[in-house]
């Protein structure tokens, strides 16, 4: 070694590179010394970051390579002691000069990056993938060593008590006690395997839990026994407001939707997500408790999302962990404790198991499997494939009895068996064929779909904008509108408080759309929505609620009033070719204006209502605009729609019109008078139209004048004066007798 003549910070070194000969290398590293064994990148080598190394000159002196640090080799202290030093990596062992570094440090390896579908959580492990490869190659599966030796003088049952309060969220919980623990670095083979999987080595105990996770797919955790108060583990829902600080030093405030692992007094872990800082493994830990459990995956997912806390464990639990592997992983962890000489394993394990004990047995036939696949897989091949996949198969002629492996919770029936068979047999055996049939049915929309199209087309043509709102609403809306929330379906897992109930009316949602538009200075608006409301048949739910198809309108602005919406509804009913008698009667609904609300009736059956939103409610919603709404049960209207269109000839003969000024009580409505006129039995009456209402002077008290134009038409002749007089007399007589209405 010698100083560079032209640079104070550079050193010229003479290097023995074995088969690569004697090399002169210039370096700026300060930790090299004479006799050091170091990695060298020679001419043409490629570093971890992709940089190529070539011979060259540094400040006028030749340099034939480069000394490498751990970073340039792509390793850290986790993989090799000293690799993270700020300088050149100095080897701790004597390797042959000139040997390839990737061979000396076992850097050359094959890493498989495999995408696993959501229905196969058993394949999220080395063991799971090995099972699959064993079946494909038809070679025996080499299992890890799950045996271990326990000390009979120490018993897990004497050291730890396990209680599971919420078995629905934790079907199985296994714990084991280990004493005489020595916390130290893991051996190279373990650290390097973890490193290749992207996990940094911590210490031998924590590394065992991570290694078992990767090998078997079962997340595990280790508690420092001295911090488990009372020597207890209690699996329960968290109390509202209960707090925990996790291993990453984040504090969380919990609620009863979160499952926690507790000792006698406090939470020590978030179930399925992360352990607590208050029970972590430390350098002086001498007693530990291993945990291996099955937690309900949707609960882990909800807790992880709500707290914003994710981990390798939660990623596994969210996809599903089977109860069988829970015990298998515990045995493997205890085996590694003895293999690494890391402690003394106590006799026995604490196992709280609520999972069903019986094996999943599927009875089927070869013919059903082949019929589903559409190909004929030989019977012996079906049996061979299933047995290679660790299914136990018994045959009786054409029948099969298949026992599903306990770690395959995704297999429930013969269609699942068929899928197992074809993916191993080969999808290339399935040939493409055209559909065959004796008759062809023309496609098209159903009558209901056609009517729904007519509904949308009419309201769009009438100037309404179609909206789509959530089927979930807040109980605040129910309270604001005076709707009984106790009669609505409450969601167990709402997206949030504002989406906790299934709506029983579209009005709050559509009025909210109108309010949002008003707040954005859109001072004229007409909106409609066609969607379902959810009416429970009984609560608590014993069956699915009725999904009642409903159409709702909301309109406001200049030129919009009660009669605007009423006219739109009448035209809508006409567009659906409604054959029923349409009438409107005064109605009293809590959140509607007491004097501007009417029930919509078809043949005296109430199918909906329309009117103005109560001004008090509008004020609470933050607007002084009049908002008019209507809500109609579409299925009730549809039953009155005619399936077939009928036609009649246009009259060849002229019509005769007569105007009548009628004196009626102020309490009478136009609908009542029109109905009375139409019920007079005049067969040639074509139409009745109200064209004037007068309530001023020169009228008796309590009376009003209503002017009607009635048109008479006959298809077979021109009506005579005598005909019209006879019709008029008949109408006036009916009005007098039924409503006490007279000619003014």
What is residue 440's predicted lDDT score, i.e. its pLDDT? 63
Q: In this predicted model, what pLDDT tens digit does every residue of 290-332 receive, in sequence order?
A: 999 999 999 999 999 999 999 999 999 999 999 999 999 999 9
- Could you identify the residue written with the tokens 């077939």? 644
DSSP assignment of 139-171, as one string?
Answer: ------------EEEEEHHHH-EEEES-TTT-S
Among 633, 601, 626, 624, CA closest to 611: 626
The band of 89, judged by pLDDT with boundaries at 50, 70 and 90, is very high
Which of these CATH numbers, 3.30.56.10, 3.30.460.10, 3.30.70.1060, 3.30.70.980, describes 361-429? 3.30.56.10
Among 537, 383, 552, 543, CA closest to 469: 552
Among 631, 357, 622, 362, CA closest to 483: 631
pLDDT mean over 112-117: 87
- Whether residue 535 is predicted with pLDDT greater than 80 in this model: the reply is yes
pLDDT mean over 351-365: 88
CATH of domain 151-353: 3.50.40.10
What is residue 439's predicted lDDT score, i.e. its pLDDT? 62
What is residue 357's predicted lDDT score, i.e. its pLDDT? 66
What is residue 438's predicted lDDT score, i.e. its pLDDT? 63
Q: For the domain 656-743, what is the CATH superfamily, name and number?
A: Ferrodoxin-fold anticodon-binding domain (3.30.70.380)
Q: What percent of the chain has pLDDT over 70?
A: 99
Tokens of 613: 């939103």
- Could you identify the residue written with the tokens 């792509």? 74
Q: Can you say how many angstroms the Cα of residue 284 is from the centroid of all Cα atoms in its chain?
A: 44
Q: In this predicted model, what pLDDT tens digit does every residue of 603-653 receive, in sequence order?
A: 889 999 999 999 999 999 999 999 999 999 998 999 888 877 777 788 889
The answer to whether residues 623 and 515 touch, using CB atoms and an 8 Å cutoff, is yes
Residue 701, judged by CB atoms within 10 A of its CB (0-12, 13-18, 19+), counts as: exposed
The answer to whether residues 285 and 179 touch, using CB atoms and an 8 Å cutoff, is no
- Whether residue 437 is predicted with pLDDT greater than 70 in this model: the reply is no
Q: For the domain 2-104, what is the CATH superfamily, name and number?
A: Nucleic acid-binding proteins (2.40.50.140)
Q: Can you say how many angstroms the Cα of residue 72 is from the centroid of all Cα atoms in its chain?
A: 43
Q: What is the rounded average pLDDT for all residues in the chain?
A: 91
Residue 248, judged by CB atoms within 10 A of its CB (0-12, 13-18, 19+), counts as: exposed
Domain boundaries, the chain: 2-104, 151-353, 361-429, 447-638, 656-743
What is residue 486's predicted lDDT score, i.e. its pLDDT? 82
Q: pTM of the predicted model, to two decimals?
A: 0.61
Q: In this predicted model, what pLDDT tens digit does every residue of 382-426 receive, in sequence order?
A: 999 999 999 999 999 999 999 999 999 899 999 999 999 999 999
Evaluate the CA torsion angle 199, 202, 205, 206 in order and state its sign.
negative
Q: SS in 3 state form for 37-100? A: CCCEECCCCECCCCCECCCEEECCEEECCEECCHHHHCCCCCCCCCCCCCCCCCCCCCCCCCCC
Orientation angle between helical segments 204-216 and 312-319, nearest 10 degrees: 30
pLDDT mean over 353-371: 89
Q: For the domain 447-638, what is the CATH superfamily, name and number?
A: Bira Bifunctional Protein; Domain 2 (3.30.930.10)
What is residue 101's predicted lDDT score, i.e. its pLDDT? 92
What is residue 497's predicted lDDT score, i.e. its pLDDT? 74
What is residue 393's predicted lDDT score, i.e. its pLDDT? 95
DSSP assignment of 244-296, as one string?
Answer: EEBTTS-EEE--TTSEEEE-SSSEEEETTTEEBGGG---TT---EEEEEEE--
């Amino acid at each position: 070694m010698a100083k560079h003549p032209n640079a104070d910070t550079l050193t010229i070194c003479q290097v023995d590179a074995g088969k690569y000969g004697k090399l002169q290398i210039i370096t700026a590293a300060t930790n090299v010394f004479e006799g050091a064994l170091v990695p060298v990148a020679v001419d043409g080598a490629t570093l971890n970051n992709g940089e190529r190394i070539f011979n060259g000159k540094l400040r006028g002196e030749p340099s034939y390579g480069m000394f490498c640090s751990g970073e340039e080799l792509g390793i850290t202290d986790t993989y090799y002691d000293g690799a993270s030093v700020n300088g050149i990596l100095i080897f701790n062992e004597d390797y042959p000069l000139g040997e390839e570094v990737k061979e000396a440090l076992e850097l050359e390896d094959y890493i498989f990056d495999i995408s696993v579908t959501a229905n196969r959580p058993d394949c999220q492990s080395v063991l799971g993938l090995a099972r699959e490869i064993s079946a494909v190659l038809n070679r025996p599966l080499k299992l890890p060593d799950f045996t271990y030796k326990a000390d009979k003088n120490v018993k897990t049952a004497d050291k730890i008590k396990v209680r599971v309060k919420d078995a629905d969220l934790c079907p199985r919980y296994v714990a084991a006690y280990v004493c005489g623990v020595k916390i130290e670095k893991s051996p190279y083979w373990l650290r390097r395997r973890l490193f290749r999987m992207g996990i940094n080595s911590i210490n031998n105990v924590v590394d065992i839990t991570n290694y078992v996770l990767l090998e078997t797919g079962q997340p595990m955790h280790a508690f420092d026994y001295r911090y488990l108060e009372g020597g207890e583990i209690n699996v329960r829902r968290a109390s509202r407001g209960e707090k925990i600080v996790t291993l990453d030093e984040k504090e969380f405030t919990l609620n009863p939707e979160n499952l926690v692992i507790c000792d006698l007094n406090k939470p020590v872990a978030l179930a399925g997500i992360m352990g607590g800082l208050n029970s972590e493994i430390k350098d002086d830990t001498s007693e530990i408790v291993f945990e291996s459990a099955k937690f309900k995956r949707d609960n882990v997912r909800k807790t992880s999302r709500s707290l914003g806390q994710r981990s390798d464990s939660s990623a596994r639990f969210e996809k599903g962990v089977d109860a069988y592997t829970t015990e298998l992983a515990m045995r493997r962890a205890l085996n590694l404790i003895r293999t690494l000489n890391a402690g003394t394993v106590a006799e026995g394990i604490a196992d709280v198991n609520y999972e069903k004990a019986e094996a999943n047995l599927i009875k089927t036939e070869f013919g059903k499997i082949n019929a589903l696949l559409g190909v004929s897989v030989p019977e012996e091949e079906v049996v061979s494939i299933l047995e290679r996949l660790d299914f136990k198969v018994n045959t009786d002629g054409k029948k099969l009895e298949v026992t599903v492996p306990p770690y395959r919770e995704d297999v429930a029936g013969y269609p699942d068996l068929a899928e197992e068979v074809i993916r191993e047999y080969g999808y290339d055996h399935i040939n493409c064929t055209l559909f065959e049939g004796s008759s062809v049915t023309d496609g098209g929309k159903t009558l209901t779909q056609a009517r729904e199209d007519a509904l949308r087309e009419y309201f769009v043509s009438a100037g309404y904008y179609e909206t789509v709102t959530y089927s979930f609403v807040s109980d605040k809306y129910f309270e604001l509108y005076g709707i009984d929330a106790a009669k609505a379906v409450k969601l167990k897992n709402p997206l949030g408080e504002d989406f906790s109930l299934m709506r029983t009316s579209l009005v709050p949602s559509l009025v909210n759309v109108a309010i949002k538009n008003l707040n954005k200075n859109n001072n004229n608006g007409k909106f409609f929505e066609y969607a379902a409301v959810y009416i429970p048949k009984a609560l608590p739910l014993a069956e699915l609620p009725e999904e009642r198809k409903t159409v709702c309108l909301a309109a406001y602005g200049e030129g919009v009033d009660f009669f605007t919406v009423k006219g739109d509804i009448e035209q809508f009913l006409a567009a659906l070719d409604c054959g029923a008698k349409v009438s409107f009667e005064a109605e009293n609904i809590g959140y509607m204006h007491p004097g501007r609300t009417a029930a919509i009736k078809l043949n005296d059956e109430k199918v909906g209502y329309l009117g103005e939103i109560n001004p008090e409610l509008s004020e609470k919603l933050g607007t002084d605009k009049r908002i008019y709404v209507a809500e109609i049960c579409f299925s009730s209207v549809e039953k009155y729609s005619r399936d077939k269109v009928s036609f009649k000839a246009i009259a060849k003969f002229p019509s005769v019109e007569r105007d009548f000024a009628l004196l009626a009580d102020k309490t009478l409505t136009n609908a009542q008078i029109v109905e009375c006129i139409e019920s007079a039995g005049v067969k040639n009456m074509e139409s009745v139209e109200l064209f004037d209402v007068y309530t001023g002077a020169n009228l008796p008290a309590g009376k009003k004048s209503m002017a009607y134009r009635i048109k008479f038409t006959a298809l077979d002749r021109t009506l005579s004066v005598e005909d019209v007089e006879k019709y008029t007399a008949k109408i006036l007589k009916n009005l007098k007798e039924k409503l006490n209405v007279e000619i003014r």
